[in-house]
Amino acid sequence: MRQLAEHYAGDPRVMFTVIDNSLGRGKSKLSDLDSVPDISKNVPELKEKLSEALEQAHRIRSISDSVYRGFRENT
């Protein structure tokens, strides 16, 4: 997002809106780009957490087998 913001800086046709939804359901709030974490530093850790979330969602049947396979095959 930061790269896109830099690329389009000064272009009046482009505007970025950051919404912080980390506070739980119904508690989202507007934020700014500086508050967005830089995930490029934690890619292996992030992949591990996403993989665990995918497995859990599949285990409790909140996602279908086809959605599970689609994500699993592309990781």
- pLDDT tens-place string over residues 16-64: 999 998 888 899 999 998 888 877 777 888 888 989 999 999 999 999 9
Is this structure's pTM higher than 0.75? no
Residue type, 57: A
Residue 75's pLDDT is: 64
Check residue 17 and give its pLDDT: 93
11 vs 35, higher pLDDT: 11
CB 16 within 8 A of CB 5: yes
Question: Residue for token digits 């095959």?
Answer: 73
- Determine the pLDDT at residue 40: 76
Q: What is the pLDDT of residue 11?
A: 97
